[in-house]
């Protein structure tokens, strides 16, 4: 028994020792760190362990750490490898009673040995960098010698209208830079129409929050879309340009010359043009560049010309940019444009009141001769103590001659009028502005003191000669009565506006990832208005004192606030602010003892929250509140009857509006599929909304308009945009749409009226790019404008338009290219006599390239082959109790032959 017990104890003791040794051996592990030459951890390094009894693999994490577990052997060999880096081999020995090794840090160096040639089959086309999306131009099949504008048309997310207005993912591009510098004062048309696409290395679309927000480091303002063009390395020192000369039928002509010199930071550009084909070089703050109506995404694919009337444009521009030394850079330029316009058309205005309507039909002719000059300088300086100073002076001068002739027919129940209205005016409008931005440098990171100021002065002098003649047929009584009305006025208006705006912000970092801003803003605006009216009929040409005015108005706003920003990482950022804003308005007529005053204190919270679920998926929430002051038309306390059938009387007791906007956006970018989705939702309500108040009697055609403050206005807006390859990379599909619902308010004969308006827009674009030799695009758009009125009675109006278009171009060989485009538009629900055509627009052209490097191009084109563009300038507006529809003439059919020469010169190689 003792022997059996002894043997059992020996077996148990042996088993315990063996299992303990085995367990210890099986729990052996190695961990360590792999870094590059700068000491930063390397992600994705391949780790391979080979031992007597093991073969294990792993990769390093985001910080360069690795760990190998479950090692059996005592002696192991580990290799560290990564493409482009030298392979490292190490051996490790486990000592007795040691089951974990902390390996020494491994540094990996670039592989210096030559390797076989590697052919890159595809360049990554789009890279998402958060607030910046980068497009690599080499990834796109762009035709040789194409301008940047043509390249944008085939790139995903971009929409380019016929007038040059450019959108990206549904948002308008507002400015342009070249290698980080503003190009032609940020003028988009200048860049897209003059820069060859093969000069561009990559294109960056940037969410720009403005210079002040950038300096403060606090992004709590609304962003704008701008583009930065990064040139190819061998195009940073180059002189290039082009010249165009053309003539055609219907006395159409065009001539332009442009020369640009880039010298690695030094830039100078000179361009000039004269034409009557509505081709503009500059936007001058108007998206369409020709001073017409603003364009929208609904115009994408409409191959008609969007400019009203017939236009003659002459323009010249000179800009430069120069580094004076390592601290100071200077840029600026001069631009001039002369625009002569002749517009003819007809309109119908229906004003509804309880029990009656006033209808006004007009045939009109407008002539304009507008001259615009602008000079601007921009000085950017980084001082020796690293402070930043930016100074921007601007001067502009506008002189405009306008002629309006209207033949009118008015009716209201049993009152009918027939007559004419003639207005000739000369307007002179000089402007001056001086702005300055200063940012103080501190040794403590992110501590900022930023001051921003702007002083501006604007003068508007207008001399008008107005004449009206009406024959009035009055059948309200037993016997019809015919009366005659004649009025002539000579109106001399002088308005001067001066404003001073300034802000000071101190930003202090505290805790981790937090910034606190203390800010103070001031806004003071002064308006002085003088108006003298002389009636040369009946009273010997004397002055009409009751229509004259000498009025002084002042708006003041002082805002003190705090902003807090917390940004712990790239995924999350929140801004919260609160401001106290006292505002005051005061106005007084010269010689009058009454002063019209209004004051209020606004409490303004602001919020901005952004969260990124991943690098390519983010959501943003915003609230914005601000004051909107009334303009002079709203507050002028004197009766303006220069249009005797639409009299305007301002209200000097108006309060400033307070604007409240809640918005949210969702963005998703799928890089491996080239897809992008974005949707935005916004709700806005306005306290003390300034609305029109109209009055009229049932037995007259005269209407009187004044303005009131009221609450209850709101609007809800939703839009989306989706872009994706379709079937394969050669097909691209863009789908976008928006729904706007507006709860508008007005007063009709002192009764509050609500107009509910629904705007629905849906777009589809399909692009097919076989290669750089052929491309095509299909567009469709549907638009609904629906309004519902409460007063003077319930009424519904719905106007529809539908667009289909198809365009394409291709190279027959290296010399010849042909292109054609067609759009068909349908209108429904409009007044038949205004929109009684469904225009079909067909354009076609053929190009021949010749001389060395195809530097010359001969182009023959036909615009509007069916001659229907001249009838499609349709406007529809629903305001208050008014329904207004108009159709203006536009550019008609013409054939043109143009010669274009492209030149470029590279510096001599030393």
420-423 contacts, C-beta under 8 A, 24 or more apart: 420/468, 420/469, 421/466, 421/467, 421/468, 421/643, 422/466, 422/467, 422/468, 423/464, 423/465, 423/466, 423/467, 423/642
Distance separating alpha carbons of residues 158 and 740, to the nearest angstrom: 23
Name residues whose C-beta falls within 8 Å of residue 486's C-beta, 6 or more positions apart in sequence. 468, 469, 470, 537
- pLDDT surpasses 80 at 886: yes
- pLDDT surpasses 50 at 286: no
- pLDDT surpasses 80 at 329: yes
Element (H, E) at 887: strand 882-888
pLDDT the model gives residue 716: 97
Write the pLDDT tens digit of every residue in 549-583: 888 889 999 999 999 999 998 889 999 999 999 98
CB atoms within 10 A of CB 717: 17
Write the pLDDT tens digit of every residue in 43-76: 888 898 887 777 888 889 888 888 888 888 788 8
- pLDDT surpasses 80 at 633: no
- pLDDT surpasses 60 at 861: yes
Of 62 and 490, more confident: 490
pLDDT the model gives residue 406: 95
pLDDT the model gives residue 153: 82
- Mean pLDDT value across the chain: 85
- pLDDT surpasses 90 at 93: no
Write the pLDDT tens digit of every residue in 748-767: 888 898 989 999 999 999 98
Of 150 and 843, more confident: 843
- pLDDT surpasses 70 at 774: yes
Of 25 and 504, more confident: 504
pLDDT the model gives residue 9: 47
- pLDDT surpasses 50 at 623: yes
Question: What would the mean pLDDT of 357-368 be, rounded to a whole number?
Answer: 94
Write the pLDDT tens digit of every residue in 164-214: 788 887 788 888 888 877 777 777 877 788 788 888 888 899 888 888 888
Of 841 and 286, more confident: 841
pLDDT the model gives residue 832: 65
Report in angstroms the alpha-carbon separations of 35 from 78, 108, 126, 699: 16, 6, 29, 90
pLDDT the model gives residue 311: 92
pLDDT the model gives residue 908: 56
Distance separating alpha carbons of residues 706 and 638, to the nearest angstrom: 11
Say what percent of the chain tops pLDDT 90. Answer: 39
Question: What would the mean pLDDT of 13-33 be, rounded to a whole number?
Answer: 57
Of 505 and 676, more confident: 505
Residue with tokens 């009058």: 592
- pLDDT surpasses 60 at 437: yes
Write the pLDDT tens digit of every residue in 96-115: 777 788 888 898 888 755 44
pLDDT the model gives residue 459: 94
Q: pLDDT band at residue 18, thresholds of 50, 70 and 90?
A: very low
Of 324 and 716, more confident: 716
Q: pLDDT band at residue 134, thresholds of 50, 70 and 90?
A: confident
Name residues whose C-beta falls within 8 Å of residue 11's C-beta, 6 or more positions apart in sequence. none
Question: What would the mean pLDDT of 324-341 be, rounded to a whole number?
Answer: 91
Distance separating alpha carbons of residues 193 and 148, to the nearest angstrom: 7
Distance separating alpha carbons of residues 132 and 563, to the nearest angstrom: 25
pLDDT the model gives residue 600: 87
Distance separating alpha carbons of residues 436 and 394, to the nearest angstrom: 12
- pLDDT surpasses 60 at 388: yes
Q: Is 743 helix (H, G, I), strand (E, B) or coil?
A: strand
pLDDT the model gives residue 740: 95
pLDDT the model gives residue 485: 92
Q: pLDDT band at residue 674, thresholds of 50, 70 and 90?
A: confident
- pLDDT surpasses 80 at 591: no
Q: pLDDT band at residue 22, thresholds of 50, 70 and 90?
A: very low
Range name among 478-487, 724-733, 858-867 with the lowest pLDDT average: 724-733
């Amino acid at each position: 028994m003792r022997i059996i017990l002894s043997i059992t104890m020996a077996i148990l003791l042996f088993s315990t020792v063996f299992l303990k040794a085995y367990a210890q051996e099986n729990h052996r592990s190695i961990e360590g760190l792999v870094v590059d030459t700068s000491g930063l951890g390397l992600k994705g390094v391949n780790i391979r362990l080979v031992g007597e009894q093991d073969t294990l693999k792993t990769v390093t994490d985001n910080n360069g750490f690795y760990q190998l577990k479950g090692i059996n052997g005592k002696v192991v060999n580990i290799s560290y490898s990564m493409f482009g880096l030298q392979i490292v081999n190490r051996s490790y020995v486990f000592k007795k009673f040691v089951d974990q090794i902390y390996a020494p840090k491994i540094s990996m160096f670039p592989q210096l040995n030559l390797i076989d040639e590697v052919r890159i089959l595809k360049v990554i086309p789009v890279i998402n960098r958060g607030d910046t999306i980068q497009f690599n131009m080499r990834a796109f099949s762009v035709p040789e010698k194409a301008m940047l504008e043509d390249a944008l048309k085939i790139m995903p997310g971009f929409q380019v209208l016929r007038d040059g207005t450019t959108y990206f993912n549904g948002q308008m591009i507002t400015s342009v830079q070249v290698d980080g510098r503003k190009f032609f004062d940020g003028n988009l048309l200048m860049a897209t129409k003059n820069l060859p696409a093969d000069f561009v290395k990559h294109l960056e679309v940037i969410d720009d929050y403005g210079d002040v927000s950038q300096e403060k480091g606090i992004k709590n303002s609304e962003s704008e879309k701008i583009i930065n063009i990064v040139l190819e390395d061998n195009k940073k020192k180059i002189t290039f340009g082009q010249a165009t000369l053309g003539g055609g039928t219907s006395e159409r002509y065009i001539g332009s010359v442009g020369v640009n010199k880039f010298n690695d930071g030094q830039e100078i550009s000179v361009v000039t043009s004269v034409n009557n084909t509505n081709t503009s070089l500059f936007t001058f703050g108007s998206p369409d560049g020709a001073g017409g109506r603003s364009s929208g995404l609904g115009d994408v694919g409409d191959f008609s010309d969007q400019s009203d009337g017939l236009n003659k444009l002459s323009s010249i521009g000179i800009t430069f940019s120069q580094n004076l030394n390592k601290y100071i850079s200077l840029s600026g330029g001069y631009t001039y444009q002369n625009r002569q316009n002749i517009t003819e058309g007809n309109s119908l205005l229906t004003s509804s009141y309880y029990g009656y309507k006033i209808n006004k039909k007009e045939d009109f002719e407008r002539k304009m001769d507008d001259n615009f000059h602008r000079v601007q300088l921009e000085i950017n300086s980084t001082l020796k103590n690293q402070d930043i100073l930016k100074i921007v002076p601007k001067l502009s001068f506008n002189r405009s001659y306008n002629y309006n002739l209207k033949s009118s027919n008015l009716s209201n129940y049993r009152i009918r009028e027939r007559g004419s209205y003639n207005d000739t005016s000369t307007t002179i409008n000089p402007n001056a502005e001086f702005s300055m931005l200063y940012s103080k440098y501190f040794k403590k990171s992110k501590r900022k003191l930023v001051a921003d100021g702007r002083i501006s002065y604007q003068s508007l002098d207008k001399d008008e000669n107005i004449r009206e003649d009406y024959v009035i047929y009055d059948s309200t009584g037993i016997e019809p009565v015919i009366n005659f009305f004649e009025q002539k006025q000579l109106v001399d208006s002088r308005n001067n506006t001066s404003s001073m705006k300034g802000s000071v912000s101190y930003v202090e970092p505290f805790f981790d990832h937090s910034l606190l801003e203390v800010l103070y803003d001031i806004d003071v605006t002064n308006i002085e208005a003088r108006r003298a009216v002389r009636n040369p009929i009946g009273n010997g040409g004397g002055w009409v004192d009751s229509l004259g005015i000498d009025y002084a108005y002042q708006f003041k706003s002082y805002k003190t606030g705090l902003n807090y920003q917390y940004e712990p990482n790239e995924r999350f950022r929140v801004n919260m602010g609160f401001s106290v804003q006292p505002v005051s308005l005061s106005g007084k007529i010269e010689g009058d003892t009454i002063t019209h005053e209004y004051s209020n204190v606004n409490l303004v919270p602001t919020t901005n929250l952004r969260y990124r679920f991943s690098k390519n998926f983010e959501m943003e929430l915003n609230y914005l509140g601000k004051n909107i002051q009334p303009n002079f038309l709203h507050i002028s306390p004197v009766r303006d009857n220069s249009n005797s059938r639409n009299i305007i009387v301002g209200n000097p007791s108006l309060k400033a509006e307070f604007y409240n906007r809640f918005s949210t956006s969702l963005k998703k970018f799928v890089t491996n599929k080239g897809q992008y989705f974005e949707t935005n939702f916004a709700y806005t309500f306005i306290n003390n909304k300034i609305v029109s108040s109209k009055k009229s009697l049932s037995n007259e055609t005269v209407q009187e308009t004044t303005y009131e403050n009221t609450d209850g206005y709101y609007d809800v807006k939703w839009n989306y945009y989706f872009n994706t390859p379709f079937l394969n990379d050669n097909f691209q599909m863009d789908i976008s749409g928006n729904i706007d619902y507006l709860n508008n308010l007005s007063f009709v004969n002192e009764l509050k009226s609500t107009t509910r308006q629904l705007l629905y827009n849906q777009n589809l674009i399909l692009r097919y790019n076989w290669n750089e030799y052929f491309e095509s695009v299909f567009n469709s758009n549907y638009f609904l404008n629906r309004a519902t009125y409460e007063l003077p009675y319930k009424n519904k109006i719905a106007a529809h338009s539908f667009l289909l278009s198809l365009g394409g171009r291709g190279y027959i060989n290296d010399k010849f290219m042909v292109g054609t485009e067609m759009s068909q538009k349908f209108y429904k629900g409009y007044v038949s006599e205004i929109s009684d055509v469904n225009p079909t627009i067909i354009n076609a052209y053929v190009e021949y390239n010749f001389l060395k490097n195809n530097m010359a191009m001969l182009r023959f084109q036909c615009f509007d082959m069916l001659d229907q563009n001249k009838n499609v300038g349709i406007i529809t507006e629903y305001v208050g109790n008014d329904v207004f529809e108009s159709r203006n003439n536009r550019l008609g059919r013409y054939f043109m032959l143009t010669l274009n020469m492209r030149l470029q010169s590279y510096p001599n190689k030393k």
